[in-house]
A and B are shown apart, each in its own frame.
Chain A
Amino acid sequence: MEKLTSQYQSSVFFDELIDDNGAPRSPAKQLLGYLDSLSEDELEKRRLTAEATIQEMGISFTVYTEEGNIDRAWPFDIVPRTIEASDWKVAEAGLKQRLKALNLFINDLYHDQNVIKDGIIPEHIIKDSKNFRPECVGVSPAYGVWAHICGTDLVRDEHGDFYVLEDNLRVPSGVSYMLENRAITKRVLPELFENESILPVNSYTSQLFDTLASLSPRDIENPEIVVMTPGIYNSAYFEHAFLAQQMGAELVEGSDLFVDNDDCVYMKTINGPERVDVIYRRIDDLFIDPEVFDSESVLGVAGLMRAWRSGNVALANAPGAGVADDKVVYAYVPDIIRYYLKEEPILKNVETFLCDDPEQRAYVLENLDKLVVKPANESGGYGMLVGPHSTKKEQAMFAELITKNPRNYIAQPTLKLSTAPTLISKGVLEPRHLDLRPFILQAKDTYVTTGGLTRVAMKKGSLVVNSSQGGGSKDTWIVETKGQ
């Protein structure tokens, strides 16, 4: 019988599991050896187990379509992605460094703005940012931290070096899938967990709980922590419910809360009003308080900003934190790290052209067929132009968009994203591109998930990993390979 991995064609990209000579990289050795020992049928059986487990556990995400919202089963590939623990240590330090600097930056922007005065970042970049909130000026959240939960997208280039693709500082999602992916894999490949030192991931929810609890404005033993969701029709509702359940926190909607005359937030319970200390809100800034932002919003709570500004409730992430995940600001992050921490950035940025700058803009407009153009403030992979995969017509459209509103666009070279073997049909492994979203927590302490959520572009050659656009996912193993 032919071995599963023997027909695997690795590509010109960096493959995370198999090196250029077709040999397994050291953290993947045991895994691949084990997969090779399974028959085609046995492997198929494992795949079906995974599918059934996902159904049983009800792991789903919501997709918006014209016919209404559909709850789709979570797309999952059973072959884990492995990363050497020593490589990960470096990335982890880089992520902590980055979030620390970003929080100092946000706090500075809402106070003295030294970063502008000292000429590190031009004033108009901040002034024109859609996510700078004048309503937040002068507020001092606990520990000076604004972004408590950050999801940073990492990619690896053709040499296997980590790059930061973007920082998500508003309401990053995906962490529940990271945890569920591990739970599924434990059922599907239990033998491997016995013999290998795969670092566990399950401490996230208790770390999140501790992070949130440390933000409580009241110094009490059991602060009231709630997860605030826009509701059942949000694509990440599953995750909101999951996190609330795992932390033992209430899952609330805006209508469950109110702000009283004392500027404190209360939730409506059968015992009467109960004061809320910390809100982990999974609603965008603009919808959290109709008194201050979108007056039409029915998702938020009138007076929430009042309560927050008075220091009577903690909001995670703090409103206004999104100013730092603007993709134009992204280009300045290495300088921001040097400015606040007096350190060299550990993690590299992807080369970025700012359309705001006339010279760089000219270069972008000339090379639209080679570059990836992104709007400064979108997430989820929407509104992008992937140059090499685009038509002349699309390029012309983007040229017009960029010329009209240069501040709103950046461009990056097409990335040579790393790949990993992915089961695409019975007994067939092919390389597929992937990225990695670790989650970083910061309050009194800083914490990084062990690995993160690996997203896979399931279509051959595709670079789009977003689950809303046909991406899948894999379990991520940080493996200790004692002294090899």
Chain B
Amino acid sequence: MLSRVAERLYWSARYLERVENTARLVSVYDDLMFDLPKDIEISWYNLIEIISGEETFEQRYKVKDERNVVKFLLADDTNSNSMLSSLKMVRENIRTTRDVVPKETWELINELDLYARQNIKLGINRSERHLFLNTIIEGCQKIIGLFAGTMSRDSGWHFLIMGRYLERADMGTRILDAAVSLMLQSEPEERIQLGQVTWSKVLKSQSAYLDYRRTVRSSINGAKATTFLMNDPCFPRSLDYCFGQIGESATKLPRAGVITAQVDKILEFDYPITSSEDLDEDFHNYLNELQIAIIEINHQITENWFHFRQGDAA
């Protein structure tokens, strides 16, 4: 497979996942705002911090309110990670790899892109935001389902998988980190009340709420929710699962050594969490290390399969 084609597939999957994750993030925050007790102050601006978008945001907006934050995340074309920007990138990448993905992919992505652009106001205003975001998530799922149902498990497939799960792991660690920071910043007396709401929303943002209930079989608290989202071997959005998928797909491709070694290192280490007290500064640092490792894996994938040094020839 051509390196260029592989790279475009990898990025289509990353951007598609980013579209879905952004929709999930806004959707769950919306829900969180409804459920919080009136006296607890939480800012929409946290979302900008989660995606590390502070600098771009502040160049564009003065007021850090809900409307600007949501606009920035969903619609802003100066934000290269906004939902619409990401959709555009999926579309551009699919456009030039149409011959290696199922042929309906092109139609589905066009449909989704068109819907998002025509109805973006629904996402920015509050009244129909939920419906809008749900339609976006469903549109992404449709494409992922199409891939799963019709694609050959050849190199192209493995690049899609690596792109999707790396992006998912990236957002997963960011959301965990945001929840941990939120708890650390809160007043000790609000912490219990805030914790219950926050951790159940974190689970919901990953569609993990019911699985958690079935698997963990106990009430929701920070330590258990975090452990589930980090280590559960079966849940398809847990970090372990994501890294596992990346490693597995990498082994099906040539010269995967560097990547599998990096992934194995991450999988072998379980950060010990026994109680909510463990979700402290150290844990925050550990999540930071994971973020760096994710960037490193992306770099290795790029170097190993997409970039080219002519000296390799002959």
Chain A residues in contact with chain B, CB under 8 A?
58, 231-232, 241, 244-245, 250-253, 255-256, 258, 260-262, 264, 266-273
Residues on B with C-beta less than 8 A from A58 are 103, 106-107
CB-based contact A267/B2 at 8 Å: yes
CB-based contact A232/B96 at 8 Å: yes
CB-based contact A268/B103 at 8 Å: no
A268 vs B312: C-alpha distance in the bound complex, in angstroms? 10
CB-based contact B6/A255 at 8 Å: no
Given contacts A58-B106, A244-B99, is CB(A266)–CB(B3) below 8 Å?
A: no
Chain B residues in contact with chain A, CB under 8 A?
1-4, 6, 95-96, 98-99, 103, 106-107, 155, 253-255, 305, 308, 310, 312-314
A351 vs B8: C-alpha distance in the bound complex, in angstroms? 52
Residues on A with C-beta less than 8 A from B1 are 269-270
Other than the given A256-B3, A260-B310, 8 more pairs (CB < 8 A) read A58-B106, A255-B4, A268-B4, A269-B2, A270-B6, A270-B253, A272-B255, A273-B312
- Residue of chain A at shortest CB distance from B103: A58
Residues on A with C-beta less than 8 A from B255 are 272
CB-based contact B314/A260 at 8 Å: yes
A264 vs B103: C-alpha distance in the bound complex, in angstroms? 34
- For residue B109, give the distance in angstroms from its CB to the closest CB of chain A: 13
- For residue B92, give the distance in angstroms from its CB to the closest CB of chain A: 9
A256 vs B1: C-alpha distance in the bound complex, in angstroms? 11
18 A-B pairs in the complex with CB atoms less than 8 angstroms apart: A58-B103, A231-B96, A250-B2, A252-B2, A256-B2, A256-B4, A258-B308, A258-B310, A258-B313, A261-B314, A262-B313, A266-B313, A267-B2, A268-B2, A268-B308, A270-B6, A270-B305, A273-B312
- For residue A378, give the distance in angstroms from its CB to the closest CB of chain B: 29
- Residue of chain B at shortest CB distance from A253: B4
- For residue B298, give the distance in angstroms from its CB to the closest CB of chain A: 16
Residues on B with C-beta less than 8 A from A250 are 2
A273 vs B98: C-alpha distance in the bound complex, in angstroms? 23
A83 vs B3: C-alpha distance in the bound complex, in angstroms? 46
A255 vs B254: C-alpha distance in the bound complex, in angstroms? 22
Residues on A with C-beta less than 8 A from B3 are 256, 268-270
Most B CB within 10 A of own CB, among A58, A250, A268: A268
A-B contact count (CB 8 A): 56
A260 vs B96: C-alpha distance in the bound complex, in angstroms? 26
8 Å CB contact of A251 from B99, B107, B310: B99
8 Å CB contact of A262 from B98, B107, B155, B314: B314
Q: Which 3 A-B pairs have the closest CB atoms?
A: A273-B313, A260-B313, A270-B305
- Residue of chain B at shortest CB distance from A257: B2
CB-based contact A270/B99 at 8 Å: no
- Residue of chain B at shortest CB distance from A244: B99
CB-based contact A270/B254 at 8 Å: yes
Residues on A with C-beta less than 8 A from B4 are 253, 255-256, 268
Residues on A with C-beta less than 8 A from B305 are 270
A253 vs B3: C-alpha distance in the bound complex, in angstroms? 11
- Residue of chain B at shortest CB distance from A238: B98
Given contacts A232-B95, A241-B98, A245-B99, is CB(A273)–CB(B314) below 8 Å?
A: yes
- Residue of chain A at shortest CB distance from B155: A270
CB-based contact A272/B314 at 8 Å: no
Residues on B with C-beta less than 8 A from A256 are 2-4
A256 vs B2: C-alpha distance in the bound complex, in angstroms? 7
Most B CB within 10 A of own CB, among A244, A261, A262, A271: A271
- For residue A469, give the distance in angstroms from its CB to the closest CB of chain B: 26
- Residue of chain A at shortest CB distance from B96: A232
Residues on B with C-beta less than 8 A from A267 are 2
- Residue of chain A at shortest CB distance from B95: A232
Residues on B with C-beta less than 8 A from A251 are 99
- Residue of chain B at shortest CB distance from A266: B313
Given contacts A256-B3, A270-B6, is CB(A264)–CB(B99) below 8 Å?
A: no
A244 vs B100: C-alpha distance in the bound complex, in angstroms? 11
CB-based contact B254/A271 at 8 Å: yes
- For residue A311, give the distance in angstroms from its CB to the closest CB of chain B: 17
Residues on A with C-beta less than 8 A from B96 are 231-232
Given contacts A267-B2, A270-B254, A272-B312, is CB(A241)–CB(B95) below 8 Å?
A: no
- Residue of chain A at shortest CB distance from B7: A270
